[in-house]
């Protein structure tokens, strides 16, 4: 039997605010969103009260998880700022911490000071793009498989909460199981440990994510998953430069970011913004990949540069970051992705798999070089 919002509210009535008022009477709850056995809501408070409310948020989450039939509870703490209160630091972009661009350790007051390693995970890397529609998720999955083919233990986290694609790209339909301590177990497929927010919500269901709910969801996908022992966790990020990217960077010490772009100018403009954001928050940029670099006819083998060609390489040279490689726009890559059998798995000895393996090798070498330097 499905959990109802009223059941959630009844349980939250037993959780008290810092003022001793029942949470349901404190005028702080958002609408309760229930999707089968999963519950999502936020607690909206003043920014100055955020610390005293954190324990309440944790209690609310525990209370909801204790409801029979609930497997996942995501409770976000929304910090609302009163009009006229202190704004962000001068010179910083709205919503982006004012972080210097050199690689010094974060100050104790910096959001980056809250970073903590994921137990058992040696390195976390982000696969990102400045805009959608550039093939980021397909590239992230095949790069994860490329790293696995090189002998690494690899996990893949689909953190694109606005449009999770990994369930479709991998053909995964089952839901993750829970351990005795209520951690989600990644689904094993193609030799990867895979977790996606898409496993928790129906494919066609529209979830309206407020910024703080994005933050809470990303942190839970990082911390409340039994990842086991991994050499690399590849994170497929949502496009853009927003809450998800900042939350990831503030939660775990990222070893680097890979930027995906097409050759055309519009995509490169957004790729520059993404690269600048990672530099601003002190995340090394491992390089740029040019996806859909050219169209290769599956029948005659002729080549057409539909979106132009070489723009990402030139941009990488201009910005002083590695150019990792170019991936063609090809029917086989599209067909295998749509069918849930990625080309790295279905055609491991083919030319496209060789491209992904080569890019994965360059990423691996950079990670090993950074470890040796450290």
Please, which pLDDT band fits residue 111 given cuts at 50, 70 and 90? Answer: very low
* Digit-coded pLDDT (tens) for 338-363: 889 999 999 999 999 999 999 999 99
Considering 119-123, 248-252, 275-279, 333-337, the range whose residues carry the highest mean pLDDT is: 119-123
* Pairing outcome for strands 38-46 and 33-35: antiparallel
Distance CA 356, CA 280 (A): 28
- The encoded tokens of residue 211 equal 């910024």
Whether residue 83 is predicted with pLDDT greater than 90 in this model: the reply is no
Half-sphere exposure for 276 (CA within 13 Å, toward CB): 12
Please, which pLDDT band fits residue 176 given cuts at 50, 70 and 90? Answer: confident
- The encoded tokens of residue 150 equal 């090189």
The more confident residue out of 321 and 269 is 321
State pTM to two decimals: 0.70
Query: What percent of the chain is modeled with pLDDT above 90?
Result: 32
pLDDT at 105: 47
Assess contact for 78 and 44: CB atoms under 8 A.
yes
The more confident residue out of 24 and 294 is 24
pLDDT at 87: 37
The more confident residue out of 313 and 171 is 171
* Pairing outcome for strands 295-296 and 303-304: antiparallel
Distance CA 213, CA 203 (A): 19
Distance CA 167, CA 201 (A): 11
Range with the poorest average pLDDT among 20-34, 75-89, 146-160: 75-89
Distance CA 116, CA 219 (A): 11
Please, which pLDDT band fits residue 208 given cuts at 50, 70 and 90? Answer: low
Range with the poorest average pLDDT among 203-212, 244-253, 311-320: 203-212
Whether residue 282 is predicted with pLDDT greater than 90 in this model: the reply is no
Find where tokens 């689909």 sit: 158
Query: What percent of the chain is modeled with pLDDT above 70?
Result: 80
pLDDT at 97: 31
Please, which pLDDT band fits residue 53 given cuts at 50, 70 and 90? Answer: confident
Please, which pLDDT band fits residue 169 given cuts at 50, 70 and 90? Answer: very high
Q: Which candidate, 157, 153, 173, 177, places its Cα nearest to that of 220?
A: 157
Structural domains in the chain plus CATH codes: 1-81 (3.30.300.130), 113-373 (3.40.50.300)
The more confident residue out of 281 and 159 is 159
The 3-state secondary structure of the chain, one letter per residue? CCCCHHHHHHHHCCCECCCCCEHHHCCCECCCEEECCEEEEEEEEEHHHHHHHHHHHHHHHHHHHCCCCCCEEEEEEEEECCCCCCCCCCCCCCCCCCCCCCCCCCCCCCHHHHCCCCCCECCEEEEECCCCCCCHHHHHHHHHHHHHHCCCCEEEEECCCCCCCHHHHHCCCCCCCECCCCCECCEEECCEEEEEHHHCCCCCCCCCCCHHHHHHHHHHHHHCECCCCECEEEEECCCCCCHHHHHHHHHCCCCEEEEEECCCHHHHHHHHHHHHHHHHCCCCEEEEEECCCCEECCCCCCEECECECCHHHHHHHHHCCCEEEECCECHHHHHHHHCCCCHHHHCCCCHHHHHHHHHHHHHHHHHHHHHHHC
* Digit-coded pLDDT (tens) for 300-331: 777 777 766 777 788 888 888 899 999 988 88
Assess contact for 161 and 245: CB atoms under 8 A.
no
Whether residue 92 is predicted with pLDDT greater than 50 in this model: the reply is no
pLDDT at 38: 81
The more confident residue out of 160 and 210 is 160
Average the pLDDT over 63-67 and give the result.
91
Distance CA 119, CA 58 (A): 21
Half-sphere exposure for 143 (CA within 13 Å, toward CB): 34
Average the pLDDT over 126-150 and give the result.
89
């Amino acid at each position: 039997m499905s959990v109802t919002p009223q059941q959630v509210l009844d349980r939250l009535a037993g959780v008290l605010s810092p003022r001793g008022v029942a949470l349901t009477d404190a005028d702080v709850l958002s609408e309760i969103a229930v999707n089968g056995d999963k519950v999502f809501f936020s607690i909206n408070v003043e920014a100055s009260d955020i610390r005293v409310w954190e324990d309440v948020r944790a209690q609310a989450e525990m209370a909801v998880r204790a409801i029979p039939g609930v497997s996942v509870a995501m409770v976000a703490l929304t910090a609302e700022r009163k009009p006229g209160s202190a704004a962000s630091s001068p010179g910083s972009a709205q919503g982006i911490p004012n972080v210097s661009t050199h690689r010094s350790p974060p100050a104790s007051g910096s959001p980056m000071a809250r970073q903590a390693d994921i137990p058992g995970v040696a390195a976390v890397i982000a696969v990102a793009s400045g805009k959608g529609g550039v093939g980021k998720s397909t590239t992230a999955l095949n790069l994860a498989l490329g790293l696995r083919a090189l002998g690494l233990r690899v996990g893949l986290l689909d953190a694109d909460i606005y449009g999770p694609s990994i369930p479709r790209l991998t053909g995964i339909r089952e839901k993750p199981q829970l351990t005795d301590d209520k951690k989600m177990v990644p689904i094993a497929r193609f030799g990867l440990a895979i977790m996606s927010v898409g496993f928790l919500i129906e494919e066609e269901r529209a979830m309206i994510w407020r910024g703080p709910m994005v933050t809470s969801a990303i942190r839970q996908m990082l911390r409340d998953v039994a990842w086991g022992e991994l050499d690399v966790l590849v994170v497929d990020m949502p496009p853009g430069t927003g809450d998800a990217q900042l939350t990831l960077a503030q939660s775990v010490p990222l070893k680097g970011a890979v930027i995906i772009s097409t050759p055309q100018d519009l995509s490169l403009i957004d790729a520059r913004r993404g690269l600048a954001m990672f530099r601003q928050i002190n995340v090394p940029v491992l390089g740029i990949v040019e996806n859909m670099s050219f169209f290769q006819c599956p029948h005659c083998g002729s080549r057409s540069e539909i979106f132009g060609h070489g723009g990402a390489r030139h941009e990488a040279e201009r910005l002083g970051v590695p150019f990792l490689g170019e991936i063609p726009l090809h029917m086989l890559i599209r067909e295998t992705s749509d069918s849930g059998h990625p080309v790295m798995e279905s055609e491991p000895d083919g030319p496209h798999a060789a491209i992904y393996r080569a890019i994965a090798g360059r990423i691996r070498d950079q990670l090993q070089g950074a470890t040796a330097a450290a």
